Structure 1
Amino acid sequence: MNPEIPGFYYDPEKKKYFKIQPNHASPPGAQYSQESVKRKRHEQEEQEKQAHVSRRIARETVLKPSFLHHALISVDREVGTRLFSAAELQDRQASIYVSQLKRTKLHQFEPWPGPCNIRHVLRHPRSGILITTGIQGNASSVSICFPDNEEEKWTYNQTMERLLFREPYRLSSISLSHTGYLLATMDSGPQGESFLSPRLLPNPDEGGDYRWPSQFLHPIRIRTTQTLWCSAACPTGDKALFAVGTSDGLHTLEGQSSHWTLSQKPLPKEQSNRGQGFRRHGNSSHASVQAVEWLTSDVIASGLRNSSVFLYDVRSGENSLRLQHSQSVTKIRKVDPWRIVVGGYNSVEMYDIRFAAGGLQHKPKPMSGSHISSRPYLSFRDFSPEEIPDFDVSIELGLLACASDDRKVRFFSLNTGKSVRSPLLNTPYRRPITGLCFEATGEMSPLGPQTPSLLVSSQATVDQWVW
């Protein structure tokens, strides 16, 4: 505090001393007349008194305990028991949820024209349309089943089944966009050709009937020469946008109605340079993208056959090699914008892409004993998949579900990697489990499940696991 000098006033804003002028000698409105200085000092004293009172009130006021707002939730903190982190609390909730799961048959597709094995299963969250892909001999098919909207919840019967198409191709993937477009990727045709088929699914009208738009009575076919491995739909946007993994790198398919654009995206420089001086094969491991996943509406994670995982930014067109899995990448699932679960033929691990990529091999060979993989953020060591491995994650529950080799659905915590027990493990399926799909509750219709559910397909049957 600056010392007080008789006959002078210290202005804290200007940080200077000013001589106090007599009232009769100072002009009207002078800042440093005796009357003005007296008024300023009085205001300063009042401000100091108010600040002192405020500090005293804050110091002596008894605050309401936080546990009184949520007595049952926070009572453990007040009595001095161990606090639970958000991850631990989510694990406890997931364990309780899994213990109460009930397995019900959702629908059994008619085996026409012969026995069918379902390979993929999805459900439209708003319309309730059940979508499956099947394998019948040397042909693949895409079938849908419309729900009965007259009931209090979605129910399905074989009279509401529709076959979208059945072709002598290998159906590698299906993806459902938030815009209502369904994309099927087909390859290995009679002449070795491939095609992509986007199609708009109908929404129910006021009477609950489903009517196809006239321009979509026949599916669109976009023919390519590359082998098609996988696809994933962008979660946002006005138009449908799909990421497609092929034997010749990453592609995107964007459009609507009958106007679609298929564009190829560049591979990371580390991958592109590996092809120099070598003969390029159709399914070269350094260019074959076998798994894709949207981390955000602008970033795509792509897994290669040679175990590498790289990120592609749609906005800038740039890409970056981030990690190497222990095996060829077969599936990628997002946990959050920086953590991904990467699956191989018999291994599933979680990686955090915020860590700098280091120790990446110039020519990774996942089948070789000298292969070096990136250090995972979390490992699921009890993972023992079916012959065709499949898994899915639920961000709401913090769980990973996979089909095991003993024909059971096993759950793992996304926080610890440990197995989560379920009473349904005591009743294995008679046939191998071929498809898994978690359903979130965010955009689900009131006629659908109001809690997270899991769709499980085995042979021609689709089951629903829900509390």
Structure 2
Amino acid sequence: MNREIPGFYYDPEKKKYFAIQANHKSAPGSQYSQDAVKRKRADQEKRQRKARLVQRYEKEKIKRAACLQHPLLQAQREVGEPAVSRLVDHEQRGLAYASQLRRKQLHQFEPWPDQYTIKHVVRNPRSGILIASGHRGGESSVSVCFPDCDQETWTYNRTMERLLFKEPYRLSSLSLSQTGYLLATMDSGPNGDSFLAPRMLPDPDEGGDYRWPPFFSHPIRIHTTSSLWCSAPSPTSDVPRFAVGTSDGLYTLEGLGSYWTLSKKPFPSDKASGNPKKRRTDSSHALITAVEWLSSDVIAAGLKDSTIFLHDVRSGGSAARLQHPHAVKKIRKLDPYRIVVAGINSLQMYDIRYPPNNLQRNPNPNKANHTSTRPYLTFSTNSSEIIPDFDISPELGLLASASPTDHDRTVQLYSLRTGDQIVSPLTRYRYRDAIRSVCFESGDQSTHGPQTPGLLVCSEATVDEWIW
């Protein structure tokens, strides 16, 4: 607001101060004579009073909710059905969707049978490229299959498969960024070495052909001294950025093309080096086995010693927040506050907005005195083994978990609101081979891709798509 200056009038339209002229000295019709300024200020005060009255009227007026005018809600009200909350309504839609899931075989990779075991399966939602990684003993490989863009929907065949790379290393993780970059982390090589391999995947041109960028004629390798265990892409970054969990802490990898930067992030106790009781950063107390981005600035990192800490890339600070009953194997984000954590015989949801409880300075899940944070929700898996793989769909309010035993060979669905199991054609289908990977897709991101949410299920060499 502009302050009043004696002898001057501020014109809000012209955004300038004008000297107030005496009535007997001003020209006829002058806009800034004493009388003219007096009239302007009176009109301005009148408009302000009217605006305040309208604002007060709108604030105190009771408006009819727009949702009450929906014909379906009116029908429910007429038949006497009670109103349901937003969470319950969301769950009901998810249950209705799950009841209509149908199986479609998407692709069967050629190199895998009797040789390799598939470990990861993801699909690029922009280009439709299907990516699969597998291992055989101490050797790992990554293959891609390009879709046929001439059809109305993406279709795959073995003639469009390409071997991306094959290495005598253990492939520990595979992450696909929304920018189109693929990151593979490899360790336990012939000489005990490790490396990260970021690579840009091509998008189709106007003719439907996929052409690799010329600067990727040679794969990029970023060598590290620590072992690599997991990785996750940033959800909304303009440039490719990944969180990487290693045997000596948390790192971020950021770059473009052939230029990448690997930066180490501090543990919650690193800044308190003067404290003799600081948290240990050796052995399992530094081995990060799971990472997940809660937002574009906050990373959740799970350790082998069961601790889950948060790191803010803006301030560079870290803080221990949760403690799982067992070593953390995988983390998935439901929203910026709720996460689902998997371990041995433990699949639980936590809310980081609750005060931390039952945290230990140097936890050890193998000891009897080990404590854990009270979960927000517990999923009953009835298993004493490590959860092989799981994924969540916030859009559907569902969690999909592969069967923890090889003889079961089914996919179980759970409600993210109650934790109860859900019956679906998917849960009743029994695969011939063990299930290795499950991955939800949101859909409606590409012209040729699925327009509704779906689930990719990989059993041995076959990738199935469960969709409405």
Task: Report TM bin, short chain.
Answer: 0.7 to 0.9
User: What code does the residue aligned with 2:152 have?
Assistant: E
User: What code does the residue aligned with 1:436 have?
Assistant: V
Q: Is the 8 A contact 1:67 1:78 kept in 2?
A: no
Q: CA shift at 1:238, angstroms?
A: 2.3
Q: CA shift at 1:419, angstroms?
A: 0.6
2:185 matches 1:191: no
Q: CA shift at 1:314, angstroms?
A: 0.4
Tell me the distance in 2 between the aligned counterparts of 1:422 and 1:117.
27
1:315 corresponds to:
314
Q: Provide the secondary structure at the position in 1 that maps to 2:334.
A: strand
2:221 corresponds to:
221
User: What code does the residue aligned with 1:324 have?
Assistant: Q
1:410 corresponds to:
412
Q: CA shift at 1:236, angstroms?
A: 1.7
Q: TM-score, normalised by structure 1?
A: 0.83
The structure with the larger Rg is 1
User: What code does the residue aligned with 2:99 have?
Assistant: S
Q: Is the 8 A contact 2:409 2:430 kept in 1?
A: yes
Q: Is the 8 A contact 2:112 2:118 kept in 1?
A: no
Q: Provide the secondary structure at the position in 1 that maps to 2:284.
A: coil
In structure 2, the gaps of 5 or more residues are 1-33, 36-41
More deviation, 264-273/393-402: 264-273
Q: TM-score, normalised by structure 2?
A: 0.83
1:341 corresponds to:
340
Tell me the distance in 1 between the aligned counterparts of 2:237 and 2:409.
38
User: What code does the residue aligned with 1:396 have?
Assistant: E
1:115-154 deviations in Å (ceiling 9; x for gaps): 2211001000010000110112321111100000011100
Tell me the distance in 2 between the aligned counterparts of 1:137 and 1:321.
36
Q: Provide the secondary structure at the position in 2 that maps to 1:455.
A: strand
Q: CA shift at 1:386, angstroms?
A: 6.7
Q: Is the 8 A contact 2:248 2:281 kept in 1?
A: no
Tell me the distance in 2 between the aligned counterparts of 1:343 and 1:106.
28
1:117 corresponds to:
117
Q: Provide the secondary structure at the position in 1 that maps to 2:96.
A: helix
1:266-301 deviations in Å (ceiling 9; x for gaps): 0111898799899975xx111111100000000000
Q: Is the 8 A contact 1:388 1:434 kept in 2?
A: no
Q: CA RMSD in A?
A: 3.1
2:352 matches 1:350: no
User: What code does the residue aligned with 1:145 have?
Assistant: C
Tell me the distance in 2 between the aligned counterparts of 1:216 and 1:74.
59
Change (3 A) 1:203 1:144: same
2:158 matches 1:135: no
1:252-276 deviations in Å (ceiling 9; x for gaps): 0000100000111001118987998
Q: Is the 8 A contact 1:386 1:403 kept in 2?
A: no
User: What code does the residue aligned with 2:393 have?
Assistant: S
Q: How does 1:90-169 map to 2 (within 5 A)?
A: 90-111=90-111, 115-169=115-169
Tell me the distance in 1 between the aligned counterparts of 2:411 and 2:112.
27
Q: Provide the secondary structure at the position in 1 that maps to 2:155.
A: coil
Tell me the distance in 2 between the aligned counterparts of 1:278 and 1:376.
23
Change (3 A) 1:246 1:83: same
In structure 1, the gaps of 5 or more residues are 1-27, 30-39
Change (3 A) 1:385 1:256: farther
Q: How does 1:24-423 map to 2 (within 5 A)?
A: 69-111=69-111, 115-269=115-269, 284-382=283-381, 384=383, 389-404=388-403, 405=405, 406-423=408-425
1:460 corresponds to:
461
Q: Is the 8 A contact 1:288 1:304 kept in 2?
A: yes
Counting aligned pairs with the same residue, the percent is 57
Change (3 A) 1:65 1:267: closer
User: What code does the residue aligned with 1:458 have?
Assistant: S
Aligned residues: 419
Q: CA shift at 1:104, angstroms?
A: 1.3
Change (3 A) 1:275 1:164: farther
Change (3 A) 1:69 1:388: closer
Tell me the distance in 2 between the aligned counterparts of 1:103 and 1:145.
20
Q: CA shift at 1:368, angstroms?
A: 1.6
Tell me the distance in 2 between the aligned counterparts of 1:385 and 1:124.
34
Change (3 A) 1:152 1:346: same
Tell me the distance in 2 between the aligned counterparts of 1:65 and 1:296.
32
Change (3 A) 1:272 1:372: farther
Change (3 A) 1:78 1:221: same
Q: CA shift at 1:421, angstroms?
A: 0.7
Tell me the distance in 1 between the aligned counterparts of 2:70 and 2:205.
44
User: What code does the residue aligned with 1:412 have?
Assistant: Y
Q: CA shift at 1:370, angstroms?
A: 1.3
Change (3 A) 1:254 1:458: same
Q: Is the 8 A contact 1:117 1:458 kept in 2?
A: no
Q: CA shift at 1:73, angstroms?
A: 2.9
Q: Provide the secondary structure at the position in 1 that maps to 2:220.
A: coil
Q: CA shift at 1:387, angstroms?
A: 5.5
1:214-260 deviations in Å (ceiling 9; x for gaps): 21122101011111010000112221000000001000000010000
Tell me the distance in 2 between the aligned counterparts of 1:429 and 1:450.
26
User: What code does the residue aligned with 1:268 have?
Assistant: P
Q: Is the 8 A contact 2:112 2:460 kept in 1?
A: no
2:436 matches 1:437: no
Tell me the distance in 2 between the aligned counterparts of 1:93 and 1:371.
40
Q: Provide the secondary structure at the position in 2 that maps to 1:244.
A: strand
Q: Is the 8 A contact 1:440 1:452 kept in 2?
A: yes
